[in-house]
Amino acid sequence: MDDSHKIGLVFALTGLIAGIISGMSTLPSFASIIVSFVIFYASQYLVKMVGVDAAKFGSAGSILKSGIFSFLGSWLMFWIILFNA
């Protein structure tokens, strides 16, 4: 699996975790959004643990830009599903 697929997978899985936390917790919506952004920022360290060559992408900002849509898609989907259940 190449590095871009690993980044997408890690960010999608952390988005799923953030969506479950946001949907199941009794936190206000604003606090859930803050928690999800903290998880999003922390997932760049998980990407490095998976074995992605960070030098290939340049800075940490490029890794975050590569995974933002995977994270947002899975986070919003699971937050909405669990919040309305």
Are the beta carbons of 78 and 14 closer than 8 angstroms?
no
Residue 39: give the domain boundaries. 3-84
* pLDDT 10s digits, 35-60: 999 999 999 899 889 988 888 888 88
C-alpha–C-alpha distance, residues 35 and 38, integer Å: 5
What pLDDT does residue 83 have?
87
What pLDDT does residue 38 have?
96
Tally of domains in the chain? 1
C-alpha–C-alpha distance, residues 41 and 61, integer Å: 10
What pLDDT does residue 52 have?
86
* pLDDT 10s digits, 10-30: 999 999 999 999 999 988 989
What pLDDT does residue 58 have?
81
C-alpha–C-alpha distance, residues 22 and 3, integer Å: 28
What pLDDT does residue 7 have?
92
